[in-house]
Structure 1
């Protein structure tokens, strides 16, 4: 059985968990307090980050690389399109959410509100929180624009781009930091992806000291 070293609210770990579940790959989840710099964990990934996946006799790091590996090794159902241009668009959007969205929103909201407390690094920086709350509006509007032109974020089929976005938004939704009233298109998209069987494990997450809002696991909001 595969083994994933993860943190429940990490969007990068959630993205890998979604891909594993969508591919119906059985996986043992092991919570890893990576900030404690455990020697065994650092041997698995000298970069000191999660997720780390143990599968097929290999130890893998970096969520985007892991997800593409899983899609190539387990091609059904496909999460990457066939054409070069379509694959580019998926990779562009995965990069958008894992880089731009992460730095402008996730790191300023989730990391300030939750990670700092768990890691005992002090109190949230109010300026970062305000900046993150302002930035997420731009990103939700961008998603709404994409969904006005497409069925899913990267095209007519669900792809890795949707899982990347949903991983970040689900983590933020856990702490009630997503305004679902801002765009019906985005809300409908999230309801559709949230209803997939692959999402059940994500919706069952419970982080001690941080109870989720009532709507978090409600498929109809």
Structure 2
């Protein structure tokens, strides 16, 4: 049995879950409170981060490395284009959302509103929350700029870039931190990806002490 050690509101866990779901690879989910640094979990990944995937006798860490492995070991359906330029663009945007978006938005909103309480590290820092609320507008504008010319973020085919973005935004949507009315084209893009079968398990996630937003699991939001 394949096993994914994850945390429900970890965007990197969600990215891997979406890739596994799209490729119809069954896995058992084990929730991991990685910040507690359990010795068994540290043996699986000394970096003390989720996700960690046990598959085919291997234990793999790092969401992008895992997704690249899945792409090579299970190439159908493809989540990275064959064309070198198109593949570069998809990878560029994976890096954008995993790094820039995550640190400028997710850490400052989901991190402050949810992780601080769950991890017991204090109360939300209002300065960070304000910075995250400002930064997400810039990122939504950038996504709209891309989607005005493309069917999906990296081009005319859905790629891992879309899953990276959706993984981040779904965490923020859980706490109602996304203004879906800012750009209709971004809302339409999210509605398309949200309705895919691979997304269903994410929409069933719940974090104790935090109710998901009203539109979180609504496909017709």
TM-score past 0.5 threshold: yes
Corresponding position of 1:66: 66
Corresponding position of 1:172: 172
Q: Where does 1:131-150 land on structure 2 (aligned, <5 Å)? A: 131-150=131-150
Corresponding position of 1:24: 24
Where does structure 1 lack aligned partners over 5 or more consecutive residues?
Answer: none
TM-score computed with the length of structure 2 as normaliser: 0.99
Cα distance in 1 for partners of 2:56, 2:90 equals 26
Corresponding position of 2:47: 47
1:145-168 CA-to-partner distances (Å, cap 9, x unmatched) read 000010100000000000000000
Q: Does 1:9 align with 2:28?
A: no
Cα distance in 1 for partners of 2:4, 2:73 equals 17
Question: Between Structure 1 and Structure 2, how many residues are aligned?
Answer: 221
Shift of 1:71: 1.2
2:148 aligned counterpart, secondary structure: helix
1:149 aligned counterpart, secondary structure: coil
Cα distance in 1 for partners of 2:2, 2:23 equals 13
1:115 aligned counterpart, secondary structure: helix
1:118-142 CA-to-partner distances (Å, cap 9, x unmatched) read 0000000000000000000000000
Where does structure 2 lack aligned partners over 5 or more consecutive residues?
Answer: none
Corresponding position of 2:154: 154
Corresponding position of 1:116: 116
Shift of 1:174: 0.2
Cα distance in 1 for partners of 2:28, 2:111 equals 25
Cα distance in 2 for partners of 1:206, 1:50 equals 17
Cα distance in 2 for partners of 1:36, 1:103 equals 21
Cα distance in 2 for partners of 1:117, 1:45 equals 24
Cα distance in 1 for partners of 2:61, 2:96 equals 19
Corresponding position of 1:182: 182
1:177 aligned counterpart, secondary structure: coil
Corresponding position of 1:215: 215
Q: Which runs of 4+ in 1 moved over 2 A?
A: none
Cα distance in 1 for partners of 2:157, 2:211 equals 33
